[in-house]
Structure 1
Amino acid sequence: MVIPVTRRNDFAKLAAPSIAEPVMVDKFTECHVTPSDVAARMVGYLGRQGDYLTLEPSAGTGQLSKALLAAGHSKFELVQVERHIKLAGSLAAFGTVQNRCFLEYAAEIAGKVEFPRIIMNPPFSDVRKHVAAAVSLLGRHGHAEPATLVALVPITFERGDAETLETLPADTFATAKVYTKIIRIRR
């Protein structure tokens, strides 16, 4: 049995699939990617979304920014600070990006800008400096609700005005070998 086959040339060309390029981060950046489920819970601890100017210091790969947007926060109210040039370049889709050291940025704008919402996973080696710099920017910015900072920090981090919301499992940051917790500071 013979089946005649006709050649067709009118098929549309298929677009080549695009594969996201993996983000390569030097270990000295201390970029420890926040797991998506942890980021979502951190956003929940911030409180309801609204027209709150929100800061993500040391934004890294943008996991916290993605969680903010997924929860309904506006990218037009989000300021991300990241000093690693490649990481900063990939953050523009989520909000405003400041490609610089967060500690320098905070020192420059202290007293000029208030953020009613701050969410962060700071470098663990300088966690005290980064949290203190973030707290210096925390303010109500005209809102009635308290300004809120939520941070993922090493379990050893202590600060009098910080409440521990949860202690994370030991394997949350297996490569960092640091036990962590989520804290909240309100003003």
Structure 2
Amino acid sequence: MKRAVYARPEKPMRISVKRREGFGKLEPIQVLEPVIVDKVTECHVTPDDVASRMVAYLGPEGDFLTLEPSAGTGQLSKALLASGHSPHELTQIERHTKLASGLRRFGPVINRCFVEWAAEVTGRVEYPRIIMNPPFSEVRKHVAAALPLLGRGGHEEPAVLVALVPITFAHSDAETLEVLPAYTFATAKVNTKIIRITKPN
């Protein structure tokens, strides 16, 4: 083969590049600080799709006062607001101080143990809507504390409680709406379901 094949041509090799105009300035990427939760809080984050379905199970939208006990990272609160719920009708309870601070972007927060707070306000307030993902090890205690707060509050619609609970949880007034896949809370190693308790009067 001829050596000339490998020789660089005498003229320089150039590639023409056209300048394009009209590109807008790129917005800086915002990286949200991850929420680090101590495992002793038993905060098991509800997946977005599960939270949305739980809100739908509450029933038709309206000006219902709504309680979110043990609100955690705010997944259920976020789903409520996405559905059109007013933050002014939402009460969030969370005992973990750092989690409570993060919940303020969704609405008012009470930084207390829910069971203790519920014992103090029972008989003085009614919530037509309660939505909850309580600590799995204390689920019976938390549901029992929530039920006396469930009431129509002057509405014609029945009062409704929707909860995400371990599959072993049983209550005479509860209907099982969904049995969730085993991998929903892989770190907790607990099989779960969504239940609804309706209080007509």
TM-score between both structures, scaled by the size of structure 2: 0.85
CA apart distance, 1:140: 0.4
Shift of 1:14: 8.3
Query: What's the counterpart of residue 179 of structure 1?
Result: 191
Q: Residue 106 of structure 1 aligns with which residue?
A: 118
Query: Partner letter of residue 86 of structure 2?
Result: S
Quote the offset at 1:55 in angstroms. 0.3
Aligned amino acid, residue 123 of structure 1: P
**Is 1:77 matched with 2:89?**
yes
The structure whose Rg is larger is: 2
Deviation at 1:48, TM superposition (A): 1.1
Q: 2: distance between equivalents of 1:51 and 1:21?
A: 33
Paired position in structure 1 for 2:105: 93
Identity %: 73
1:56-115: per-residue Cα shift (whole Å, max 9, x none)? 000000000000011111111000000000100011111110001000110010000000
Matched, 1:32 2:44: yes
Match of residue 41, structure 1, among 53, 60, 67? 53
Match of 1:20 in 2: 32
Which residue number corresponds to residue 16 of structure 2? none
Q: CA deviation at 1:152?
A: 0.1
Partner of 2:179: 167
The corresponding residue for 1:152 is 164
Task: Tell me the secondary structure at the aligned position of residue 118 of structure 2.
Answer: helix
Give the one of 115, 129, 133 matched to 1:117.
129
Equivalent residue for 1:136?
Answer: 148
* Count of matched residue positions in the alignment of Structure 1 and Structure 2: 178
Partner SS, residue 87 of structure 1: helix
Q: Could you tell me how far apart the structure 1 residues matched to 2:97 and 2:140 are?
A: 24
Whole-Å Cα distance in 2 between the matches of residues 128 and 14 of structure 1?
51
1:100-152 deviations in whole A, cap 9, x for unaligned?
10001100100000000000000000000000101010000000110000000
- CA shift, 1:18, in A, is 3.2
Q: Report the Cα offset of residue 35 of structure 1.
A: 0.3
- TM-aligned CA deviation for residue 17 of structure 1: 4.1
Distance 2:59 2:84 in 1: 12
When normalised by structure 1's length, the TM-score is 0.91
Residue of structure 1 equivalent to 2:66: 54
Instruction: Describe the superposition over 1:140-186 as per-residue Cα deviations: whole angstroms up to 9, x where unpaired.
Output: 00001100000000000000000000100000000000000000001
Using the alignment, how far apart are the partners of 2:26 and 2:100 within structure 1?
32
Instruction: Provide closer, same or farther for how the CA distance between residues 15 and 38 of structure 1 changes in structure 2, counting only shifts above 3 A.
Output: closer
Q: Which runs of 4+ in 1 moved over 6 A?
A: none
CA distance in 1: counterparts of 2:27 and 2:75, whole angstroms: 29
